Amino acid sequence: SHVLTQPPSVSEAPGETARVTCGGNNIGTESVHWYQKKPGQAPVLVIYYDSDRPSGISDRFSGSKSGNTATLTISRVEAGDEADYYCQVWDSSSDQGVFGGGTKLTVL
């Protein structure tokens, strides 16, 4: 089945730009969604269909895709952005959803 590869961790100082990557063989042909997950809370959708942002999500969050890699970019990082971030796609070859392993964002 499809595998999505994320770095285990990313660290940035407040005010800097954090980038979380998600690699997969077929990402170029699939829609990528991104979720923020904080301990004890339900996941929150922050980017859908590669680069669309739900209402209520800060415009500091953006998504992009190039080749086999999707990227979640968080500009002007704040302490409140500290969380685990997951990418997700639909694998049409196996008819299953797939999440990446998650990336822990630490705000220094």
Residues contributing to the site for other proteins (CB under 8 A): 1, 30-31, 33, 35, 37, 42-45, 48-49, 54, 84, 86, 88-90, 92, 94-102
Beta-strand runs (E) in the chain: 9-12, 18-23, 33-37, 44-47, 61-66, 69-74, 83-91, 96-99, 103-107
Q: CB nearer to other proteins: give 55 or 66.
A: 55
Q: CB nearer to other proteins: give 33 or 71.
A: 33
Q: CB nearer to other proteins: give 24 or 100.
A: 100
- Residue 29 sits at φ, ψ, to 5 deg, of -110, 5
